[in-house]
């Protein structure tokens, strides 16, 4: 199967007066598992639909492989899309659903059957071929929808929130299966989700969208460790953001919070930025004051099993701190005065 | 003995307090309500119809029970022919009505098309004209020497037999009843999740193939519901064939035989039985077909039907088609309008001159008709939505024994021709006197309202059922968990949430009751009690009254049309209100 | 609030129920509002203490209605054209014999006695059947008005004629019966079937005929005179003529048995026969022939006066008893032979007419014989006059079981099916013969 990349250049799209996509640029490599991550209304689904050819035609350029597909009818794009609702046709059997695309391609019936069987086999549901969709569970419907899409051998596979209608345990199982299938078929795949865990666990690279603008593109780890802005920082994992300013004194640099507390920064840090991003697992709690420590008060604590999550008022804000739990560890009581020591060696100032 | 000390005021308060128990059933009252409704349906539907039907099973000579009459029916070639004609006309009306409704439904639901709401509203209007009035107007436009044929003859020397014999019945019926298909099909089309279509497009399907393989099959339940209604209504309808002087159909045969002087032969009753049985069978067949095919496909994360923007060429074509269809289906109204403003219209494409005199005559003579109509249709529609809501609630939300039977019985009214009900009422209620008024119940005006109520109950029931199905059980449980009694919950939560559907039911019942003639023509016992449709009928019986009758018809259409459009707007607003709380 | 709604509904209910004045007279009538309106107004002006309550029903439905409510009668007066309908009611014991005081009313109109000899019903206006035509229609189709019944059977009028069915309209029944009595049973039916072969339609209501002529749906109609007069008076381009063989018959009024207000009913009937009451008949929307000869002095120019012009309706001596004896048989025969089989009949007569046309050119004797045979098939009746007057046979159509062991030999459906097979077969053969003859 041919692997196609997708290039998106300066794509703009409006619904009436509302601008939904504001100059999107992306280069998705052939065979890549790529995620669009963002909150509702960020434009991620709209972008996906624009690639598939649904909705109004945007301005800009969208190329799939060597073809410029902008303005092309959806049925001419050879793009496979799996819908959030699965969109299995209730009046057709599973076999007819899966065979639909092949029939539309005028493939002889004799060739359709083995292909459909193979696709159903791929998702492990060959035994359900003669059922009607409303006799299937959500997970089964999801797999049938997937089989229906890949049986026509599209150049790229688009998945629109494919896991959102499944329950939690099934979701984990399905996302592994999706990844297995993607690797097996080597299909260029775009996966739209608002769940960072899904994006993190499956994608090679991802784009975080907000307000119709791509905020950052990169591998899940790169985005987590080095968010390009506060939105990305907050959207990916839990982030404590302290307001203040950077003071540079020769090679030394430190971050001064609103409350006047100081945190030293790695040498050579630049003076721009008025927020420091601290991940909860990079902060330690101590009873006594010390170097690079913020005084604070415990507001709340939650036992999460492997961790204890504290909410501590410090540096003019409420800070989330995670402590690994081990047997015999003593807990800080609500109301206790504590000092937070942050590991600022790879803290991000924005 | 303490009860005897209660003051009259307290008694009255108690009465006022007790009334709503059956208006708005409460938990223990639900059984009582179910029982009351069942009794009412038996008394106002089952017994009167049985009174008519029983004659069909009696030997006319001896009164003994027999099936001989049915043997006679099938041995009589005229009846076999009538049966076949009725079947043919009903089936063809479904075909023609589909040809009218399908493009309208498709264009207004699938494309960005300005005027969609207007078209949907206009599409409802044919339903609110009494079919016999439509037949008169259609004769003037499409008749042998109507506008169209006169113009064709003058210009091309040809004429087309639109209105000859069964053709005329088919044309008038399909124009009158196609809204049933339009409404149901449009609703079905709108409920198709856009992803259903997009998934097919994504897999290479488009255009007519997409419509044929995906869109239409998904809209099938709505289409079948509408088509079954059209079939049954046409099969049962009496007024149109009679007005067009077509006798070789079942309903006219039944009427001619039952209402003619001295003919006490049972054939009219046999035909009534066959009409009812055949209608029930058709309803049942459509239910069977639709079972398990409830494709309510709007799902979480999906949207309604995807609307496409038309290309300029397509737009011209679409407008052309829509305007042509509207012109055809509104031609009875155009004809009626011309007639109402015309002086003399005889063997000419248009009236000889125009005048307002008809409206003056109409206004002087028909205030009573209009008042009566508003009163009867208002009572009928109000009772319909109350009973409809109660039945819907009992059927959907309770496990009361026999609740399905209640639903079936109320729906069965659909299969009872108006004439049969009218005759049944005369038979049943003539011997019952109204207390205080000292006259038979059958000649009291209230009986007309009750007949209309029974006739329109199926429509209201469907609307209320649909509305209740959209009210999540969780909302009710939430109210109950907060300490509200069942009755309070129904009053404060369920009914307000059903408002849109109830209103739709009210309007449909009101509008169609306002123009009903077939049952009322048997029951009106004094011109002072006559409703509007009867008034038009009276006007149209004299050479000088045609224009005034037409003017009254126009008034009826305008009044009901305003009501319809207003309710459409309210329903749309209601929909938006509900969906705005639904964003995820 | 709820009580307010309830009480206003109650108020509405009261407002909508008819006023229960002491002098309310309930009238069941087949006459249109345009006729009853002016009469009601004039009567109530002359008798302010009385209130006329009009209930409009077609004659046949009105008879049926009175029969249905007889157990607990609420109607005072039955008021309609067809004397036969009154005969039916009288024979069923649904009418009351009352004394009516009047002055200057003759015994007969045309050849027809005005009042029931037993005093059960009374004539109040005269009417005669005739032919009405639309002038524009005739001009466009290049036709002359037909003046006689036999004219209507001419080939030129094929597809241009309309008529109602006797079973649907009491007055139409009169016309059919008049011709049957005037020309004789066989000749009369033959005439009707040959005319019916030219029908465009058989209308369901008697008003359907003037309506069809007025709109130009068909060109000529067999109608009662006042439909012609009032249509013309309303401005339609139509006209009307009495053929020679016609009967002038009275339109009638009678008091229903056990009437709640018999005295009021008598007052109304007496008023109708006074010179003032008679004068209202000349209202342009009514145009019925008054039965008080003095009233004609007030008539507009050109209005026929049967009391001076002896040619109108004098030919046929209408025999009410004969008519009553076979009332339902005639209705049923007309429906079976004409109404329900109009297509077959029209095809057959049309075919014979073209065969006649072909014969006129060819003069082929064999063709002539076949044409005559075809006509004979059309003309043939399933029963003869003697059988039509046989009370036992008539009972099949009128049977009312009085006792559970009453026996009636045949069922109406059986008889009608026999007739139907008879005429369908005859029409089919006639069509075949005519087509063969046309080819010669």
- Please give the torsion angle defined by the CA atoms of residues B66, B71, B74 and B78, in that order, rounded to the nearest 10 degrees: -80
Residues from chain C contacting residue B247 (CB–CB below 8 Å): 202, 204, 335, 339-340
Given this model, what pLDDT does residue C12 score? Answer: 39
Q: What is the mean pLDDT of residues C218-234?
A: 89
Same-domain pairing of A256 and A194? no
Residue for token digits 């949207």? B303
3-class SS of residue C169: coil
Q: At what angle do helices B250-259 and B267-290 cross, to 10 degrees?
A: 150
CB of C218 closer than 8 Å to CB of C81: no
Residue A339 lies in a domain: yes
- Residue B2 above 60 pLDDT? no
* Architecture of domain C128-247+321-438 in this structure: 3-Layer(aba) Sandwich (3.40)
Does a structural domain hold residue A80? yes
Residue C169 forms contact with B (CB below 8 Å): no
Write down the pLDDT at residue A147.
93
Task: Answer for the pair B127, B177: CB distance below 8 angstroms, yes or no.
Answer: yes
Any CB–CB contact under 8 A between C199 and chain B?
no
Contact list, C217 vs chain B (CB under 8 Å): 139, 143-146
Domain containing residue A316: 238-349
**Whole-number Å distance between alpha carbons of B223 and B293:** 12
User: Per the structure block, which two tokens stand in for B394?
Assistant: 């009992």
Cα end-to-end span (Å), chain C: 88
B198 contacts on A by Cβ (under 8 Å): 52, 54, 74, 81, 83, 87
Number of H helices, E strands in chain A: 8, 20
pLDDT in tens, A332-346: 889 989 999 888 877
Residue with tokens 């004439």: B419
- Name the region of A4 (left: φ>0; alpha: ψ -120 to 50; beta: rest): beta
Inter-chain residue contact A83 with B302, CB threshold 8 Å = yes
The predicted pLDDT at position B21 comes to 47
Asked if C337 contacts C193 with a C-beta cutoff of 8 angstroms, the reply is yes
Q: What is the CATH number of the domain that holds A335?
A: 2.40.50.140
Shortest CB distance from A104 goes to which of B205, B220, B306? B205
3-state SS assignment for residue A336: coil
- Which CATH architecture group holds B24-53+360-578? Orthogonal Bundle (1.10)
Q: How many domains does chain A have?
A: 2
Interface contact B542-C230, CB threshold 8 A = yes
Task: Tell me which residue in B140, B430, B527 faces C54 most closely, judged by beta carbons.
Answer: B527
The Cα–Cα gap between A239 and A317 comes to 12
A119 and A189 share one domain:
yes
Task: Using CB atoms, list chains with 3+ pairs below 8 Å to chain B.
Answer: A, C
pLDDT of residue B577: 64
Give the whole-angstrom CA distance, residue C187 versus residue A126: 84
What is the Cα–Cα distance from C66 to C63, expressed in whole angstroms? Answer: 5
Do A254 and A220 share a domain, yes or no? no
Please give the structure tokens belonging to residue C421: 């097979």
Q: What is the DSSP string of C217-230?
A: SSSEEEEEHHHHHH
Q: If you count residue pairs, one on A and one on B, with CB atoms under 8 Å apart, how many are there?
A: 84
Whether C420 and B347 lie within 8 Å, measured CB to CB: no
pLDDT at position B581:
43
Rounded Cα distance between C424 and C421, Å, is 5
Q: Which residue has the higher pLDDT, B474 or A110?
A: A110
Pairing of strands C121-134, C238-241: antiparallel
Mean pLDDT of B278-307: 68
- How sure is the predictor about B28, in pLDDT bands with cuts at 50, 70 and 90? low
CB-nearest to C88 from B19, B247, B261 is: B261
Reported as a pLDDT band with limits 50, 70 and 90, residue A189 is very high
Token pair for C402: 């009085």
Find, among C337, C300, C321, the residue nearest to C177 by Cα. C321
Short-list B524, B579, B191, CA closest to B373? B524
- Residue A80 · residue A156 · CB < 8 Å: yes
Residue C285: predicted pLDDT: 77
Q: Does residue A172 share a domain with residue A268? A: no
Please give the residue of chain A at the shortest CA–CA distance from B300.
A85
Contacts 24+ apart (CB under 8 A), A230-233: A230/A275, A230/A277, A230/A350, A232/A208, A233/A277, A233/A348, A233/A350
Percent of chain B with pLDDT over 90: 15
| CA A115/CA A107 separation, integer angstroms | 10
Residue C142 contacts B where some CB pair is shorter than 8 Å: no
pLDDT band at A34 (very low <50, low <70, confident <90, very high): very high
Closest CA in chain B for residue A53: B202
Q: A210, A234, A258 — which closes off a domain? A: A234
Count residue pairs from B and C with Cβ separation < 8 A.
223
Q: Which of C375, C338, C377 is nearest to C355 (CA)?
A: C375
- Chain B nearest-CA distance from C181, in A, is 21
Name the nearest CA neighbour of B175 among B246, B105, B126: B126
pLDDT score, position C266: 92
Q: How far apart are CA A161 and CA A195, in angstroms?
A: 9
As beta bridge partners, residue C123 has C252
Run of H or E residues at C131: strand C121-134
Tell me if ipTM is over 0.85: no
Q: Is A215 in the same domain as A331?
A: no
A205-210/A33-37 β-pairing: parallel
The whole-number pLDDT of residue C278 equals 92
Q: How far apart are the first and last CA of chain A?
A: 44
- CA B223 – CA B286 distance, rounded (Å): 10
The domain segmentation of chain B, as residue ranges, is 24-53+360-578, 67-344
Task: Based on the fold, state whether residues A243 and A220 are members of the same structural domain.
Answer: no
Q: How far is CA C55 from CA B328, B443, C414, in A?
A: 36, 11, 36
**Which residue in chain B is spatially nearest to A49 when comparing CA positions?**
B198
Per CB-CB distance under 8 Å, the chain B contacts of A80 are 202
Q: What is the pLDDT of residues A129-146, one digit of tens each?
A: 999 888 888 889 989 999
If asked whether residues A190 and A270 sit together in one domain, one would say no
Second CATH level (architecture) for the domain C18-127+250-298: 3-Layer(aba) Sandwich (3.40)
Task: Indicate if A122 and A93 belong to the same structural domain.
Answer: yes
The alpha carbons of chain B give a radius of gyration, in whole angstroms, of: 25
* pLDDT class of C127 with cuts at 50, 70, 90: confident
Residue C5 has a pLDDT of 39
In this structure, CATH architecture of domain B67-344 = Orthogonal Bundle (1.10)
Q: Are both B24-53+360-578 and B67-344 of the same fold?
A: yes
What is the number of residues in chain C? 440
Do A87 and B214 count as a contact with CB atoms less than 8 A apart? no
CATH of the domain at A148: 3.40.50.300
Chain B hits for A56, CB-CB cut-off 8 Å, are 309
Predicted confidence (pLDDT) at residue C203 exceeds the cutoff of 60: yes
* Minimal C-alpha gap between C396 and chain B (Å): 9
The C-alpha atoms of residue B127 and residue B115 are separated, in whole angstroms, by: 20
Backbone phi and psi for residue C358, each to the nearest 5 degrees, phi listed first: -65, -40
| Whole-number Å distance between alpha carbons of A330 and C105 | 126
Residue C410 has what pLDDT? 66
Residue B195 near residue A85, CB atoms below 8 Å = yes
Strand spans (E) along C14-87: 24-29, 51-56, 77-80
Q: Is residue A116 part of a domain?
A: yes
A101 and B302 in contact by Cβ < 8 A? Answer: no
A118 and A84 share one domain: yes
Rounded-to-integer distance, Cα B164 and Cα C288, Å: 33
DSSP tag of B58: B
* CB–CB contact B365 C33 (8 Å): yes
What are the residue boundaries of the structural domains of chain C, listed by start?
Answer: 18-127+250-298, 128-247+321-438
Shared domain check, A342 and A298: yes
Smallest Cβ–Cβ distance between B203 and the set A56, A85, A104 belongs to A104
| pTM as predicted | 0.79
- Give strand ranges (E) for chain A: 6-15, 18-28, 33-37, 59-64, 67-68, 79-82, 156-160, 188-193, 205-210, 213-218, 240-249, 252-257, 262-265, 275-278, 283-286, 293-303, 307-314, 317-324, 337-342, 348-349
* Residue numbers in C near B73 (CB within 8 A): 413
Which residue's structure tokens are 């998705």? A28
Tell me the three state secondary structure of residue B361: helix
Q: Which two tokens stand for residue B379?
A: 């009572």
**H/E stretch holding A123:** none
Q: Which of B56-70, B517-531, C365-379 has the highest mean pLDDT?
A: C365-379
Inter-residue contact C185 to C388 (CB < 8 Å): yes
In this structure, is residue A1 part of a structural domain?
A: no
CA distance B559 to B551: 12
How far out from the chain centre does Cα B459 lie?
Answer: 6
Query: C128-247+321-438: same fold as C18-127+250-298?
Result: yes
Residues C22-39: what's their mean pLDDT? 84
CA distances to B225, B459, B461, B563 from B506, rounded to whole Å, are 20, 9, 10, 10
For the stretch A204-259, pLDDT in tens is: 999 999 999 999 999 999 999 889 999 999 999 888 998 888 888 877 888 888 88
Q: Which residues pair with A285 in a beta bridge?
A: A340
Q: Considering chain C, what percentage of its residues have pLDDT values greater than 70?
A: 91
CA-based R_g, chain C, Å: 24
Residue B425 has pLDDT above 70, yes or no: yes
Question: Per residue, what are the HEC states of B485-530?
Answer: CHHHHHHHHHHHHHHHHHHHHHHHHHHHHHCCCCCHHHHCCCHHHC
Yes or no, beta carbons of B527 and C416 under 8 Å apart: no
Q: C129-140 burial, b if ≥16 CB within 10 A, otherwise e?
A: bbbbbbbbbbeb
Residue C17, classified by CB atoms within 10 Å of its CB into exposed (0-12), middle (13-18) or buried (19+), is: middle
Whether residue A283 sits in one domain with residue A215: no
Q: Parallel, antiparallel, or unpaired: how do β-strands A283-286 and A337-342 relate?
A: antiparallel
Distance CA A43, CA A207 (A): 12
Query: Which helix or strand (DSSP H or E) is residue B147 part of?
Result: helix B147-156
More confident residue, B303 or B455: B455
Q: Report yes or no on chains C and A touching (3+ CB pairs under 8 A).
A: no
Rounded Cα distance between B391 and B406, Å, is 7
- Residues A44 and A26: their CA atoms lie apart, in Å, by 12
CA proximity to A239, closest of A208, A278, A293: A278
Contact C122, C116 (CB under 8 A): yes
Determine C/B contact with 3+ CB pairs under 8 A as the test. yes
Cβ atoms A105, A61 nearer than 8 A? no
CB-based contact (8 Å) between C37 and chain B? yes
A219 and A250, same structural domain? no
User: Binning pLDDT at 50, 70 and 90, where does residue C315 land?
Assistant: low
The sign of the dihedral angle between the CA atoms of B329, B334, B337, B342 is: negative
Counting Cα atoms < 13 Å in the Cβ hemisphere of B122 gives: 21
């Amino acid at each position: 199967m041919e692997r196609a990349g997708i290039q998106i250049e300066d794509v703009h799209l409006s619904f009436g007066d509302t601008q939904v996509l504001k100059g999107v640029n992306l280069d998705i490599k052939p065979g890549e598992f790529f995620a669009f991550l963002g909150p509702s209304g960020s434009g991620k689904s709209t972008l996906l639909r624009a690639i598939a050819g649904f909705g109004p035609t945007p301005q800009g350029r969208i190329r799939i492989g060597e073809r410029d597909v902008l303005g092309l009818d959806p049925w001419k794009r050879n793009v496979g899309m799996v819908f959030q609702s699965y969109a299995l046709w209730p009046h057709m059997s599973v076999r007819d659903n899966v065979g639909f695309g092949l029939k539309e391609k005028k493939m002889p019936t004799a060739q359709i059957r083995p292909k459909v069987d193979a696709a159903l086999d791929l998702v492990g549901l060959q035994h359900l071929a003669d059922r009607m969709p409303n006799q299937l569970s959500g997970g089964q419907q999801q797999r049938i929808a997937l089989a229906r899409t890949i049986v026509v051998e599209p150049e790229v596979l688009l998945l629109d929130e494919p896991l959102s209608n499944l329950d939690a345990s099934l979701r984990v199982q399905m996302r592994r299966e999706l990844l297995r299938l993607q690797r097996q078929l080597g299909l260029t795949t775009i996966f739209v989700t608002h769940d960072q865990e899904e994006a993190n666990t499956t994608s090679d690279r991802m784009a975080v969208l907000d307000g119709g603008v791509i905020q950052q593109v990169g591998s899940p780890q790169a985005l987590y460790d080095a968010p390009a802005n506060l939105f990305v920082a907050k959207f990916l994992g839990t982030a404590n953001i302290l307001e203040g300013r950077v003071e540079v004194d020769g090679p030394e640099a430190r971050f001064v919070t609103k409350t006047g507390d100081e945190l030293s920064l790695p040498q050579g840090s630049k003076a721009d930025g008025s927020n420091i991003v601290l991940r909860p697992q990079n902060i330690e709690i101590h009873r006594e004051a010390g170097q690079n420590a913020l005084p604070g008060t415990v507001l709340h604590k939650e036992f999460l099993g492997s961790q204890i999550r504290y909410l501590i008022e410090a540096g003019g804000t409420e800070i989330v701190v995670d402590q690994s739990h081990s047997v015999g560890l003593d807990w800080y009581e609500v109301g206790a005065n504590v000092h937070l020591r942050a590991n600022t060696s790879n803290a991000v100032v924005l | 003995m303490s009860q005897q000390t209660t003051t009259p005021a307290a008694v009255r308060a108690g009465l006022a307090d007790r009334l709503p128990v059956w208006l708005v059933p409460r938990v223990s009252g639900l059984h009582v309500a179910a029982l009351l409704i069942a009794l009412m349906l038996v008394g106002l539907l089952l017994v009167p119809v049985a009174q008519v039907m029983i004659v069909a099973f009696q030997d006319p000579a001896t009164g003994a029970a027999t099936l001989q009459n049915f043997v006679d029916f099938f041995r009589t070639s005229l009846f076999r022919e009538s049966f076949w004609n009725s079947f043919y006309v009903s089936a063809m009306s479904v075909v023609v009505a589909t040809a009218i409704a399908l493009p309208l439904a498709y264009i207004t639901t699938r494309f960005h098309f300005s005027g969609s709401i207007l078209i949907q509203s206009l599409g409802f209007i044919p339903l609110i004209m009494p079919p016999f009035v439509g037949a008169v107007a259609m004769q003037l436009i499409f008749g042998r020497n109507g506008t169209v044929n006169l113009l064709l003859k003058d210009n091309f020397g040809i004429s087309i037999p639109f209105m000859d014999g069964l053709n005329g019945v088919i044309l008038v019926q399909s124009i009158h009843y196609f809204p049933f298909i339009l409404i149901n099909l449009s609703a079905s089309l709108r409920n198709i999740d856009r992803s259903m279509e997009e998934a097919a497009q994504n897999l290479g399907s488009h255009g007519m193939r997409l419509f044929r393989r995906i869109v239409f099959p998904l809209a099938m339940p709505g289409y079948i519901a509408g088509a079954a209604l059209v079939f049954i209504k046409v099969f049962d309808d009496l007024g149109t064939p009679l007005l067009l002087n077509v006798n070789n159909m079942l309903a006219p045969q039944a009427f001619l035989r039952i209402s003619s002087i001295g003919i006490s032969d049972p054939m009219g009753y046999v035909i009534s039985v066959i009409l009812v049985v055949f209608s029930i069978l058709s309803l049942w067949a459509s239910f069977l077909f639709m079972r398990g095919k409830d494709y309510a496909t709007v799902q979480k994360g999906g949207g309604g039907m995807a609307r496409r923007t038309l290309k300029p060429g397509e737009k011209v074509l679409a407008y052309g088609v829509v305007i042509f269809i509207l012109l055809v289906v509104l031609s009875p109204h155009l004809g009626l309008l011309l007639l109402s403003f015309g002086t003399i219209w005889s063997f000419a494409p248009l009236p000889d001159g125009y005048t307002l005199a008809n409206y003056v005559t109409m206004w002087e003579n028909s205030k009573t008709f209009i008042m009566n109509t508003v009163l009867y249709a208002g009572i009928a529609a109000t009772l319909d939505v109350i009973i409809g809501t109660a039945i819907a609630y009992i059927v959907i939300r309770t496990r009361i024994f026999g609740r399905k039977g209640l639903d079936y019985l109320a729906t069965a009214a659909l299969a009872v021709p108006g004439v049969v009900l009218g005759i049944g009422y005369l038979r049943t209620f003539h011997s019952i006197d109204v207390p205080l008024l000292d006259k038979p119940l059958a000649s009291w005006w209230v009986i007309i309202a009750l007949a209309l109520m029974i006739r329109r109950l199926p429509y209201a029931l469907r609307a209320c059922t649909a509305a209740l199905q959209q009210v999540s059980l969780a909302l009710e449980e939430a109210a109950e968990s907060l300490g509200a009694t069942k009755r309070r919950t129904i009053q404060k939560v369920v009914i307000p949430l059903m408002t849109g559907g109830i209103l739709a039911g009210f309007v449909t019942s009101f509008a169609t009751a306002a123009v009903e003639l077939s049952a009322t023509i048997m029951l009106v016992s004094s011109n002072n009690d006559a409703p509007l449709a009867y008034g038009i009928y009276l006007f149209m019986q004299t050479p000088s009254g045609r224009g005034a009758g037409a003017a009254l018809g126009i008034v009826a259409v305008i009044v009901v049309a305003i009501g319809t459009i207003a309710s459409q707007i309210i329903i749309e607003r209601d929909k938006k209100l509900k969906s705005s709380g639904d964003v995820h | 609030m709820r009580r307010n709604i309830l009480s206003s509904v109650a108020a509405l209910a009261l407002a909508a129920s008819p006023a229960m004045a002491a002098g309310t007279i309930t009238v069941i009538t087949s006459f249109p509002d345009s006729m009853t309106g002016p009469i009601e107004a004039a009567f109530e002006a002359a008798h302010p203490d009385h209130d006329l309550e009009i209930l409009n029903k077609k004659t046949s439905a009105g008879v049926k209605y009175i029969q249905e409510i007889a157990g607990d009668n609420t109607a005072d007066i039955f008021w309609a054209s067809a004397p036969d309908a009154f005969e039916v009611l009288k024979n069923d014991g649904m009418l009351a014999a009352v004394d009516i005081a009047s002055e200057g009313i003759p015994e007969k109109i045309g050849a027809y006695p005005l009042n029931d000899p037993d005093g059960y019903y009374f004539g109040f206006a005269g009417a005669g059947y005739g032919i009405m035509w639309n002038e524009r229609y005739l001009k466009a189709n290049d036709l002359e008005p037909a003046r006689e019944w036999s004219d209507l059977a001419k080939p030129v009028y094929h597809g241009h004629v309309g008529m109602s069915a006797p079973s649907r309209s009491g007055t139409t029944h009169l016309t059919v019966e008049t011709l049957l009595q005037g020309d004789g049973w066989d000749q009369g039916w033959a005439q009707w079937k040959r005319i019916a072969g030219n029908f465009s339609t058989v209308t369901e209501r008697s008003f359907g005929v003037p309506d069809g002529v007025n709109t130009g749906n068909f060109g000529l109609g067999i109608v009662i005179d006042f439909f012609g007069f009032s249509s013309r008076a309303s401005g339609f381009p139509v006209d009307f003529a009495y053929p020679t063989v016609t009967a002038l018959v009275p339109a009638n009024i009678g008091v229903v048995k056990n009437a709640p207000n018999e005295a009021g009913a008598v007052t109304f009937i007496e008023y109708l026969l006074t010179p003032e009451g008679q004068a209202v008949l000349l209202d342009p929307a009514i145009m019925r022939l008054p039965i008080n000869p003095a009233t004609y002095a007030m008539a507009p120019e050109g209005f026929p006066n049967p009391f001076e012009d002896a040619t109108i309706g004098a030919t046929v001596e209408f025999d009410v008893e004969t008519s009553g004896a076979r009332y339902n048989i005639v209705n049923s025969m007309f429906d079976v032979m004409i109404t329900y089989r109009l297509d077959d009949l029209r095809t057959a007569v049309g075919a014979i007419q073209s065969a006649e046309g072909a014969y006129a050119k060819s003069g082929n004797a064999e063709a002539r014989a076949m044409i005559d045979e075809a006509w004979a098939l059309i003309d043939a009746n399933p029963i003869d006059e003697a059988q039509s007057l046989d009370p036992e046979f008539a009972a099949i159509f009128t049977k009312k079981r009085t006792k559970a062991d009453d026996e009636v030999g045949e069922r109406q459906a059986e008889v009608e099916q026999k007739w139907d097979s008879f005429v369908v077969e005859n029409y089919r053969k006639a069509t075949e013969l005519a087509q063969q003859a046309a080819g010669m």
